[in-house]
Structure 1
């Protein structure tokens, strides 16, 4: 599938790192380093604008290496880019560690996964059909 993209940064387009990768690495587009203090969040620009086809979304997800090594993740994960959004893609990063972290221009800050989705139409009912699980919620199958 081909997707139209405008790249106003001076970095390469998002790309898959291996042949079987689901996510493409997305880079920060900064004029200078950005410091993220512990428990601080900031919107990081990417310089990317996309036009997804109807029925698709782009999900912005954390990079596991940043999360494990530095406690850096996305605050609203996964962030959703809708097919009708045409503004710049921004990434809300948060530092969950106890140490400051510097984000540099061109740093790979998240992954983008493009996925299809369905739209539903609600069908109001008075009662739902029974299932084996029923109303069992969080941890109901645990010991």
Structure 2
């Protein structure tokens, strides 16, 4: 399975602009640039997209892990906070902090944490990222 997306950039680094497009149409010439990446300008940025991919991948991995253990989540809410830090002349993604809040009927906290930690280690996006990944998991009653 291969998934694709395209980026088109015009102009210089700080003053230029880019557009991201994916075959699914979710990204359709979605703007990104210096202001959306390093300031608070309109558009998206690669780190936001990585955070969305990580949160989505982890949530799905958790759902499958729960299913394999005989549980079904009422709700899984995951936030991924991706950190971009200066490194030498450039930047590096150093961390993806996952915050999980889940409602799962019939599960105890120990089993919940075991399955959540397995999902964090085994989701394909976690395996891809060469950064510190943390998980703060809360089982809601």
TM range (shorter): under 0.3
TM-score, normalised to structure 2, is 0.28
TM-score, normalised to structure 1, is 0.28
Q: Which has the higher contact order (CA 8 A, sep 6+)?
A: 1
If each structure's helix is expressed as a fraction of its own residues, which one has the higher value?
A: 2
